[in-house]
Structure 1
Amino acid sequence: MATAAARRLWARPWARRLRVWAGVVAVSLTGVVVGTMLFAQSEIAVGPFRADMSISPSIEGGTEVDIPPLGSLHLDSHDGPIHLKVDLGSLDQGRTEALIDDPTAISAAGQSAVDDVTKGVLQLGLRALGAAIVCSLILSALIFRNIRRVASAGVLALVVTGGSLGLAVATIRPDSISEPRYEGLLVNAPAVVGDARRIADNYGRYADQLQELVSNVSRIYTTVSALPVFDPAGGTTRILHVSDLHLNPTSWGVIRTVVKQWDIDAVVDTGDIVDWGSSAETSYVNSIGQLGVPYVYVRGNHDSTAIQAAVARQTNAKVLDNDVVTINGLTIAGIGDPEFTPDKSEAPAANADDPGSSPLLRSGEELATTIRASKTKVGVALVHDPAMAPPLSGVVPLVLAGHLHKREVRTLDQPSPDPSASPAPSASAGTQAPLETRLLVEGSTGGAGLRGLENEEPTPLTMSVLYFDESQSLKAYDDIQLGGTGEQNVTMQRKVIGTDPEPTTNPSVFNGVTPGLTPNSAPPSR
C-alpha cells in the first residue's frame, strides 16, 4: 500500500521536475569540479621562477606555496570552497641568466613581481570559470540532450564558480602571510634563522644591493690582471676554493663568473654544500655540472651520504673520502667530515679529558696515513672542519678547510718528532727540516645560507683563487669577498707567499669602500 502511494507521488509532474532539476544540479556541479581539477591551471613568470598556479575545490580554502626542496607554506589567506596552490619548483634558466647578466633587470623583476602574481591569479580565475562552464555544458549535453537543461547547467556552473571566486576575494586576509604554517624542511626555518620578519627586511636590503655586487664581479678581472709582485707563469695551476654554500642559489652564478674570468683549472669544495642533508636537497648540486671544470668535494657536517652520492653523480665531480686525486699536475687528498650534525644543538659533546677520542682528529689521522702511503707527492689536503687539520701538520704543505664561516690563515703547530716519519728535505744542503703546513680556512661562499641574514649585516660571500707552480707549491692566493649590507662592494686581495709578513698587494675595492681588509675579514695570522 505504502509502496503504491510512493509510486503515485513519485509520478506526479512536480516530482518529475524535481528529479530533473536535481539531475541538472548534480551534473552541473560534477562539471564544475571536473573542469576546475583538470583545467584550472596556469603558468606565470615571477622573477626567475616559472610558477605553476592551480585552483581546486576545498572546504577550508587557503593557499599553499610549494618551495622545493625546502617544503611548503600554508596560508589562511581566504575562506570559501576554493584552494589556491602555487608551485615555485621550476627555475627558468634563461630568465635567471638574464638577471645575472643585466643588473638592472633584478630591480625591474622585483618591482614587477607583485603585478605578475596579481595578473596570474586573475588569469587563473577566468580560466577556472571558463573551464567549469564548458565542462558542465559538455557533460549535460551528453546526458540530457536538451538545450534548456544544458543552458541551465551552464548558468548554474557560472553562479557556483563565480560565487566561489567572489567569496574568496571578499574574504582575503593579506596579513595571513605573516603567520604561515610550515611543512617539510621549512619547519626548521624559525629555529635556524630566527625571526622571519627581520630576515625578510634584511633580505630586502641585501637584494637591493645585488645588482651592484653582480656588476662589480664582472669588473674584478680587469684590475686583477694589473696587480704587481706576482705574475702567474705559464705552468700555473689555478684552483678556486669554495666552502659552505648552504643551499644559496646565488653562489653558483658567482662561481661560474670566477671560473670563467680567472681561467680556473678546478674547483675544490670543503663541504656543507647544503643545510640538512635531505634527499630533497640533492637537486641543488646539479649546477656542478654546468661549471665546465673538475669539481673536487669533501663532505661537511651538514652533508649526508645521500648528498655526497648526488655530488658524485655529476660528471665533472670527484668526491674524496680518504682518497687522492691528481688534477692538472696538482695532487689533492681529502676526507669527509665524520660527524653528520645539521642541527648543531644536538651535536655530541667533546671529551675534554681525552682529545684523542675526537672523531675529527681520528679522521685527520686517517687522511695523514693515506697521504704518507701515496706514491705521488700530495700538495693539498681537504677537510671540512679545521679541527681535523692538526694530524696533517708536517705531512702536507697546505690544508684547506671551511666550517667557521670566516676567513682564517695560519701555520699549524709542528708535530712531535715521530721516528717512523721521514722528515721533508730542507732547502739548505745537507740538513733536514720539518715540513711547514699552512692552514687556509675559507669563509662561506653561500653567505651562510639563510643564517647569514639573521644578523644586522648579512654574512658576505667569500672564495679564494689559489696559484700553484709546477712543483705543487702555493705561490699566491686571491681572496674574493662579495657583499655586506651598507657596503655594496666587492673586494679582491692578493697575498703572495714567501714574504714575511705576506702583504696584500693593491687590494681592489669597488663602490667607494676604503681599500684594505673589510670588517668581516681578519689579517692572516702565522
Structure 2
Amino acid sequence: MAIRLRALLTVLASMFRARVTRRTARGIGVLAVTVVGAVLGLLIGGTSTGPLGPFQAEFTLSPGLHGGTQVVVPPLGSLTLDSHAGPERLTIRLDALDQARTQKLVSDPNGLEAASASAFSDAQEGITHAVFQAAGAALVGALLLGALVYRRTRRTAQVGALALGLVVVSLGTALATFKGDAIDEPRYDGLLVNAPAVVGDARKIASRYEQYRAELQRLVTNVGKLYTTVSNLPVYEPGDGAIRVLHVSDMHLNPGAWDVVRTVVQQFSIDVVVDTGDLTDWGTEREAAAYAGSIGTLNVPYVFIRGNHDSAETVAEVARQKNAIVLDNRIATVGGLRIAGIGDPRFTPDKTADSTDLLEKRRLFDTGNQLADTITRSGGADLAMIHDPAMAGPLAGTVPLILAGHLHHREVSQYNDETLLMTEGSTGGAGLRGLQTKEPTPLALSVLYFSSTAKLQAYDDISVGGTGRSEVTLQRRIVKKAEPQATSTPTPSPTPS
C-alpha cells in the first residue's frame, strides 16, 4: 500500500513539474515575442518628421540601453546629451532647410530670428509626436508578431497587454530620470573647425532648465548661419570680458600637433596658450631649434614651463620666441590672468622617472612648496602651472586652479572646495611612442573659459584622432562651485628609455 502511495505521489509531482515548466516556457515565449515585436515596431515606425526652426527635422525613438538624446546636424557633427535613462534613445536629425523659411533667412534681416523663435515649441511638439507614434508602433508591432506566432486571440491579447506595460514602464523611467540641465554638458563629435559653432559660447551655456529654450534657438541660429553663408563659418562671438585659455602639454616633437593647436587658437578665439612642459623628447639643441619655432606662428601669448624631457637648451629656444613667456618659480600677468609656474626639477629623457620613489616624491614636493611660497609672498595667483601632478600637494588651497601634464592621460581632481587640479593628456599624442600601441594615442588639449574676474567657468576637453586628424570629440564641462569632479588618481605613465 505504501509503495503504491509513493508511486502515485511521484506521478502527481512529475505532472505538476511538467505543468509549471510548460507555463514558464509559455511565459518566456510571450515575453520574447512581445519584446521582439515592440523593437521591430520601433525600428519600422518610430520616426516622425516635423519643422524645427528653419529646418525639416526627423525625430526618432529607438531601442537603446543607456537612453540619452542625440542631435545630428549634418555636416557639422552631432551633440549627445545625457538627458535620461531607460531603454529608448531619442535622435533629432536636422536633415534639410525648409525652402520657405530659408528664403526668409536670406531676404529678411530679421528672418533668422523669426524662423528660430519657434525652435523650442517645435522641438516639444516633434518629440511629443514621436513618443506617441513610437508607442503606437511598438504596440502594433508586438500585436502583429503575436498574432502571427500564436494565431490565438487570447495569447495575442496577452502579448498586447504586456507590450503596453513595457511601453508605460520605459517611458515612465525616461520621465523619472529626465535631466533638464543635460544641455549644460553636451558631447560634440564631428569636425574640429565646427565645434565652436555647434556647442556655443561657454559663458552663455544654460545652468537652469528655463534657459534651455534660448540655447536651442542659439543652436538653430548658428547652424542656420552656416547654411546661409557661402564662404565662412559662423563667427564664434566671445562673451564680454571672457578670457579663453588653451592648455597644451607633452607635445613630444609631434609636428602635426601644431596644426591642431593653430586651428583651435583660431576657431576658439584663444587669448593665451599655456604649455605644461615636455615640448621635446631628448632635450637636444637641434630638437628645440627645429620645433619651438612654431610657437611664434600662433600670434598669442605662449606661457611655458619646463618638463622632465626639456633641457636648458629647450627653455632657451622657447624664450627666444617673441610671444613666449617662460616661468620658473615666478608669476606673470598674461591676458588678464595672474599665472604662476615652475619647471620640473628633473631632467630625465633617457630613463624611467619613478615619481613613486620616496626621494623623487620629496624632490617634487619641495618644488611645489617653492612655488606655493612664491605665490603667497606675491599676494596670490589665478592659476599655477606644474609639469608633474605629484607637485600639486603644497599648492592646494593656495590657488584656485592647478594645471599639469606628464601622465599622458587627462584627469580632473578636486583637492578641496578651493583648488581644482586639471591634468592634461598628451597634445602630441605621446609623440612617436603614441604609435607603438595598437590604437594611436589621441591628441588631447583643453579650452578653459574664465570670467572677467579670472574665475574658471567652464572647459572643453578636446581629443583629436582618426583619419588625417580631422575627427574630434569635444566634451563641454561646466564648473560648479564646491562640487568635486572625478577623484581618481592616475598612475604615472613610465617615461620610455
TM-score if structure 1 supplies the norm length? 0.48
Q: Does 1:270 align with 2:273?
A: no
Q: Does 1:361 align with 2:368?
A: no
Following the alignment from structure 2 to structure 1, what is the Cα–Cα distance between the partners of residues 488 and 407?
16
Instruction: Identify the residue that residue 229 of structure 1 maps to in structure 2.
Output: 206
Kept after mapping to 2: 8 A contact 1:496/1:502? no
Alpha-carbon displacement from aligned partner over 1:421-477 (angstroms, at most 9, x marks no partner) = xxxxxxxxxxxxxx6111000000000000100010010001000011122211100
Instruction: Identify the residue that residue 409 of structure 1 maps to in structure 2.
Output: 412
Kept after mapping to 1: 8 A contact 2:192/2:470? no
Q: Which consecutive residues of structure 1, in runs of 5 or more, have no partner in the other structure?
A: 1-213, 415-434, 504-522
Instruction: Identify the residue that residue 216 of structure 1 maps to in structure 2.
Output: 191
* C-alpha distance 351-460 of structure 1, shift in aligned 2 (>3 A): closer
Following the alignment from structure 1 to structure 2, what is the Cα–Cα distance between the partners of residues 226 and 394?
29
Show the 5 A alignment for 1:354-393. 358-375=362-379, 377-393=380-396
Q: CA deviation at 1:343?
A: 2.0
**Counterpart AA for 1:406:** H
Kept after mapping to 1: 8 A contact 2:190/2:471? no
Following the alignment from structure 2 to structure 1, what is the Cα–Cα distance between the partners of residues 457 and 385?
18
Q: CA deviation at 1:488?
A: 7.5
Instruction: Identify the residue that residue 439 of structure 1 maps to in structure 2.
Output: 421
Following the alignment from structure 1 to structure 2, what is the Cα–Cα distance between the partners of residues 454 and 349?
23
Show the 5 A alignment for 1:486-497. 489-497=471-479
For this pair of structures, how many residues does the alignment match? 269
**Counterpart AA for 1:457:** E
Kept after mapping to 2: 8 A contact 1:271/1:297? yes
Q: 2:316 aligns with which of 306, 309, 314?
A: 309
Following the alignment from structure 2 to structure 1, what is the Cα–Cα distance between the partners of residues 316 and 389?
23
Q: 1:468 aligns with which of 429, 441, 450?
A: 450
Following the alignment from structure 1 to structure 2, what is the Cα–Cα distance between the partners of residues 229 and 374?
36
* C-alpha distance 490-310 of structure 1, shift in aligned 2 (>3 A): same
Secondary structure of 1:341 counterpart: coil
Following the alignment from structure 1 to structure 2, what is the Cα–Cα distance between the partners of residues 440 and 349?
18
Q: CA deviation at 1:220?
A: 1.6
Kept after mapping to 1: 8 A contact 2:402/2:419? yes
Alpha-carbon displacement from aligned partner over 1:266-296 (angstroms, at most 9, x marks no partner) = 0000000010000110120000000000000
Secondary structure of 2:278 counterpart: coil
Kept after mapping to 1: 8 A contact 2:196/2:268? yes
Show the 5 A alignment for 1:125-144. none
Q: 2:247 aligns with which of 225, 241, 248?
A: 241
Following the alignment from structure 2 to structure 1, what is the Cα–Cα distance between the partners of residues 332 and 320?
17
Q: CA deviation at 1:328?
A: 2.1
**Counterpart AA for 1:221:** P
Instruction: Identify the residue that residue 482 of structure 1 maps to in structure 2.
Output: 464
Show the 5 A alignment for 1:14-413. 216-225=191-200, 228-229=205-206, 233-282=239-288, 283-345=290-352, 347=353, 351-352=357-358, 358-375=362-379, 377-412=380-415
* C-alpha distance 450-395 of structure 1, shift in aligned 2 (>3 A): same
* C-alpha distance 397-500 of structure 1, shift in aligned 2 (>3 A): closer
Following the alignment from structure 1 to structure 2, what is the Cα–Cα distance between the partners of residues 226 and 329?
19
Instruction: Identify the residue that residue 456 of structure 1 maps to in structure 2.
Output: 438
**Counterpart AA for 1:478:** D
Q: CA deviation at 1:251?
A: 0.7
**Counterpart AA for 1:244:** D
* C-alpha distance 292-359 of structure 1, shift in aligned 2 (>3 A): same
Alpha-carbon displacement from aligned partner over 1:338-368 (angstroms, at most 9, x marks no partner) = 00001233x477653x68x721111100000
Secondary structure of 1:296 counterpart: strand
Supply the RMSD in Å over aligned alpha carbons: 2.7
Secondary structure of 2:191 counterpart: helix
Q: CA deviation at 1:393?
A: 0.6
Kept after mapping to 2: 8 A contact 1:299/1:335? yes
Following the alignment from structure 2 to structure 1, what is the Cα–Cα distance between the partners of residues 469 and 293?
32
Instruction: Identify the residue that residue 21 of structure 2 maps to in structure 1.
Output: none
Following the alignment from structure 2 to structure 1, what is the Cα–Cα distance between the partners of residues 426 and 294?
18
Kept after mapping to 1: 8 A contact 2:339/2:381? yes
Q: CA deviation at 1:500?
A: 7.5
Kept after mapping to 1: 8 A contact 2:191/2:470? no
Following the alignment from structure 2 to structure 1, what is the Cα–Cα distance between the partners of residues 477 and 356?
35
Alpha-carbon displacement from aligned partner over 1:47-99 (angstroms, at most 9, x marks no partner) = xxxxxxxxxxxxxxxxxxxxxxxxxxxxxxxxxxxxxxxxxxxxxxxxxxxxx
Following the alignment from structure 1 to structure 2, what is the Cα–Cα distance between the partners of residues 290 and 349?
35
**Counterpart AA for 1:312:** A
Kept after mapping to 2: 8 A contact 1:243/1:445? yes
Following the alignment from structure 2 to structure 1, what is the Cα–Cα distance between the partners of residues 351 and 441?
19
**Counterpart AA for 2:411:** E
Following the alignment from structure 2 to structure 1, what is the Cα–Cα distance between the partners of residues 252 and 281?
5
